[in-house]
Amino acid sequence: MTPLVDVLTSRYAYVLFALLLGIGLYMIVSSQNLVKKVIGLNLFQTALFLFFIASAYLAGGQAPIVHHGGKEATYVSPLPQVIVLTAIVVGIAVTAVALALLVRIYAEYGTLEEDVLREVRSDD
Among the candidate windows 3-11, 63-71, 76-84, which touches other proteins by CB under 8 A?
76-84
Burial 6-26 (b: 16+ CB within 10 A, else e): eeeeeeeeeeebeebbeebee
Work out the number of other CB atoms within 10 angstroms of the CB of residue 36.
Answer: 17
Tell which one of 39, 52, 75, 76 touches other proteins (CB under 8 A): 52
Reported as half-sphere exposure (CB side, CA atoms, 13 A), residue 6 has a value of: 3
CA gyration radius, the chain? 21
Is residue 94 a contact residue for other proteins (CB under 8 A)?
Answer: yes
User: Does 39 contact other proteins by CB under 8 A?
Assistant: no
Return residues touching other proteins (CB under 8 A).
25, 28, 34, 37-38, 41, 44-45, 48, 51-52, 55, 77, 79-80, 83, 86-87, 90, 93-94, 97-98, 101-102, 104-105, 107-109, 117, 121, 124
